[in-house]
Chain A
Amino acid sequence: MVSETDLEILEAYLDDELSAGEVVRLDQRLACEPALAAALQSQRSARAVRAAVFKTTEPDDASADYFAGAVLASVRRRAWNRRLVRASKIAGAVAASVVVGVMIGWVGRGRGPEAPVASSFPHPVNTDGRLVAHTPKPADGGQTYQVALTDENGNVIAVQKFSKVEDARQFADDLGQYQARRQQVEEGRPMLISDRF
């Protein structure tokens, strides 16, 4: 009777997994142990049958070639499809961005940034309509003087403060002269360009 260990050694021998020393020792044992030699022969036969069975699972050359061609066509097709999907995604993203941009522009049309209603020193050029500088009035208990600027409808759109009443009057006079010249230009009347000289 051959032990399990010896059977494993015989398998390793047939699998070519024994070292040179182990092979020598096994050959010596095989020469003088008929049961071990018979077990080796039995294993060899079983292995030959299995090898023949494994061989039958191989396809013939034509089938193998056909299969290889089909696999290569399949992987090429998949690669092409993947490129197509990637390109579609990019095109879709661009189209979506354009649509969103157009929609934002459409919804927000005519809503530009509004002009400042009043500033600390409103320049007449930056305002629409006529500005009228009113007579300076004392404010803060007589410490400062302020000039109210109103539009054509009389709405106060800015107030300019001065520490001296002379400065306030000068500002009101300058603004009045500016408005008068602007009105002349708009109405096409001739004006003296060098009126300051």
Chain B
Amino acid sequence: MSVEETSPDLPVSPAQTAALFEQAVRVHSRRLLAIARSIAGNRASAEDVVQQALTNLYEHRDRYDWREPGGLMRRAVVNEALRILRQPRMTMVADDHPGHFSPPDGGMLDRETIDKVRAAIDRLPEHFRAALVLCEYENMAYVQIAEVLGCSVPQVKTWLHRGRKQLARMLEEFMSREK
């Protein structure tokens, strides 16, 4: 049983649960969309991934403790994104979602660099990518990543190391040209 599942004596009424769920959705949507976008890449719409994950959680909302919903929602979104990635490739969504995702940040990186790095990340195996997003974007510890991805800590270390190595190799030429 994970730490976020409710114990039977949890004093939360259905109305409170609904209110906590609503609050959690409003607070965490932004980061959940980013996680979904980073893991699913252009294989699925980030909105679809997050909406399905949150709908699944809502269906069984009475089972969980909504007072600490961050990890629960992250896990649901990661699992939903990985589930979609495991399905046969059917459609591709547009790389840019007009009006939904922000442009390059403050001129720190140019558009080409962002596109190249994002494309390289999208080409990583799904578990490498998921581990990388949870580690470097969500700043999660290896133990937490292992729990979310359902694997061991050494496995997480291996995925991260190999993912970073593959990224470095894929971007080697581009980065050396940029320098």
A residues touching B (Cβ–Cβ < 8 Å)?
A: 4, 7-8, 11-12, 15-17, 43, 46-47, 49-61, 63-65, 67-68, 70-72, 74-75, 78-79
Contact = CB atoms under 8 A, between A and B. Distances in A.
A17 B121 contact: no
26 contacts: A7-B161, A8-B161, A15-B135, A17-B141, A50-B117, A50-B121, A50-B167, A52-B114, A53-B117, A54-B136, A56-B105, A57-B38, A57-B101, A58-B30, A58-B33, A58-B34, A59-B102, A60-B100, A63-B99, A67-B47, A68-B25, A68-B29, A70-B51, A71-B25, A71-B50, A75-B55
Given A65-B26, A74-B51, A49 B104 contact: no
- For chain B, what secondary structure do more than half of its interface residues adopt (helix, strand, loop), or is it mixed? helix
Interface of B: 22, 25-26, 29-31, 33-34, 37-38, 46-47, 50-51, 54-55, 58, 99-105, 108-109, 113-114, 117-118, 121, 132-133, 135-137, 141-142, 157, 160-161, 164-165, 167-168, 171, 175
Given A46-B164, A78-B55, A58 B31 contact: yes
Contacts of B55: 71, 74-75, 78
A78 to B, nearest CB: 7
Contacts of B135: 15
Contacts of B157: 8, 12
- For chain A, what secondary structure do more than half of its interface residues adopt (helix, strand, loop), or is it mixed? helix
For the complex of A and B, the 4 pairs showing the least CB-CB separation, nearest first, are A64-B30, A57-B37, A54-B137, A68-B29
A11 B163 CA distance: 12
